[in-house]
Amino acid sequence: MKDGDMPAGSGREISSQLVPSNSASGQGVRFDFDGALELARWLWHLAGELDAGQRVRDTAATTALDSWRGRFAEQFRESVRAESRVTGSLADQLRADAQTLARLWAEAVGAENNRVRQADFSQRTAGVMAGGSEPSVPPAPVPPAFEPTAALPNRVRGV
Superfamily for domain range 29-114 = ESAT-6-like (1.10.287.1060)
User: How far is it, in rounded angstroms, from Cα 55 to Cα 76?
Assistant: 16
Measuring CA to CA, which residue among 142, 151, 156, 155 is closest to residue 37?
Answer: 142
Q: Where are the domains of the chain?
A: 29-114
Please, what's the largest Cα pairwise distance for the chain? 83
Each residue's pLDDT, cut to its tens digit, for the chain (159 residues) gives 444 455 554 433 333 344 444 445 556 678 889 999 999 999 999 999 999 999 999 999 999 999 999 999 999 999 999 999 999 999 999 999 999 999 999 999 998 888 888 877 766 664 444 455 555 788 899 999 899 888 877 654 443
User: How far is it, in rounded angstroms, from Cα 86 to Cα 9?
Assistant: 30
Q: Where are the beta strands (DSSP E) in the chain?
A: 17-19, 29-31
Amino acid identity, position 11: G
